Structure 1
Amino acid sequence: MEKFEKLSGIAAPLPLINVDTDMIIPKQFLKTIKRSGLGINLFDEMRYDDDGNEIPDFVLNKPQYRDAQILVAGDNFGCGSSREHAPWAIKDFGIRCVIAPSYADIFYNNCFKNGILPIALPQEHIDVLMKEAEKGANARIEVDLEAQTVSTSDGEVFAFEVDAFKKHCLLEGLDDIGLTLAKADAIDAFEARAAQARPWV
């Protein structure tokens, strides 16, 4: 998993509350178990019309937000079903950080496991960042995970909280598999001892 340390990028404003996982990635795209290729279908029903044409007014279809790496969203982001395809689609699009007042628990935890930093901030801070995001390419938001800060292009800084273990995993680029492999030597040693102690197994 790619390490997350600092990110400076364009933020896309999505001022909607209760954005559920079916809005993030509709159910018809859940047939794959691959983490790649889902970015094109991120927010599919809001991005495309019935004929598959882009809807120009949707934020991610606007030229200034096509390369957005940060998403500023409304309350209760990622609610609904627990599909892991939702963070897969977000990450595959190129978004590494979501900033919202609150998240559904399963989605929140899935983000960390897939290299996405979900930041929870008070609504008054979200309001400032939403206005910043509306500037498009004229403003870049900076996220510093080590310092646990979000900064606007005007120099306004907001501190955020994050679980120490989840922070460590993102900084080191460790998903569940990476965490296991980090203990490979200890696992091998245990297996060798177990084989000696119980050769019949």
Structure 2
Amino acid sequence: MSGPAGEDARDADGVAVPAIRRIAGTGVPVRGDDIDTDQILPARFLKAVTFDDMGEYAFYDQRRDADGELNDHPLNEYQGANVLAVNENFGCGSSREHAPQGLMRWGVEAIVGESFAEIFQDNCKSLGIATLAVDHEDAVALQDFIEANPDAGIEVDVRAETVRYDGTTVEGEVPDAMREALLEGIWDTTAVMRTNLDRAKAVHDDLPYADD
């Protein structure tokens, strides 16, 4: 959820980069420790020229049975959810940006879990996906709640570093760099670079080894 009108950062073309303070919606529980980026987005899809279809490829193999038919994987059962509830060391493995791209394009706007691989978490930040680390018991309780109440509202508060549902408030941790970037609307690194094109050009022009 972006901030009030007038508070968002803007790139060089005046396009708003939303400050992300709260994410509200419904949840999708994906259980299991050490779910790596190859499970999230299989390597054979890395050859795609753009990220446009990555949402279709998210958890592609886990979402299908031996005959290639969709199974009861949570991403098949919880269509329209935007808060992903996971466990320990989520996003480990290779550093491919395609994994969070796939989740984002499927609809994920925030991830609540026990812990996250550092590079995966940083890639999430660059896409505006908030990650909130909570205790094991709190992560499992949230997953249990979602399974019992798939349509219930869930809210992740980036500023307060909490997740709220069913009258319960759970405290967690959003990395400082992510929290600052999301709250100030500077998480889109491409937009930040575009905003500072004049400064970047000046630095480029001063470099003795840079071509004109």
Whether TM-score is above 0.5 comes out as: yes
Matching residue within 28, 32, 41 for 1:16: 32
SS in 2 for 1:47: coil
Contact 2:132 2:161 in 1 (8 A): no
Identity %: 33
After TM superposition, the score normalised by the length of structure 2 is 0.81
Contact 1:35 1:88 in 2 (8 A): yes
Contact 1:4 1:173 in 2 (8 A): no
| Corresponding position of 2:178 | 166
Q: How many aligned positions are there?
A: 194
- Equivalent-residue separation in structure 2 for 1:182 and 1:166 (angstroms): 19
Contact 1:10 1:136 in 2 (8 A): no
- CA deviation vs aligned residue, 1:135-155 (integer Å, no higher than 9, x gap): 343311111112222101x21
Structure number with the higher helix fraction is 1
- CA deviation vs aligned residue, 1:24-66 (integer Å, no higher than 9, x gap): 01111111242221111110111123443211x211212xx11
| Corresponding position of 1:147 | 160
Bigger CA radius of gyration: 1
Tell me whether 1:92 sits opposite 2:108 in the alignment: no
- Amino acid in structure 2 at the alignment position of 1:91: M
- Amino acid in structure 2 at the alignment position of 1:159: E
In the TM superposition, residue 191 of structure 1 has moved relative to its aligned partner by 6.1
- CA deviation vs aligned residue, 1:171-192 (integer Å, no higher than 9, x gap): 3053222222333343355567
In the TM superposition, residue 116 of structure 1 has moved relative to its aligned partner by 1.0
Matching residue within 113, 130, 146 for 2:126: 113
- Amino acid in structure 2 at the alignment position of 1:58: H
SS in 1 for 2:61: helix
Q: What are the residue-to-residue correspondences of 1:179-190 with 2, within 5 Å?
A: 179-188=192-201
Distance change >3 Å, CA 191–CA 110, structure 1 → 2: closer
- Equivalent-residue separation in structure 2 for 1:146 and 1:43 (angstroms): 30
Over the aligned positions, Cα root-mean-square deviation in angstroms equals 2.4
- Amino acid in structure 1 at the alignment position of 2:122: N
Q: Which runs of 5+ in 1 are unaligned?
A: none
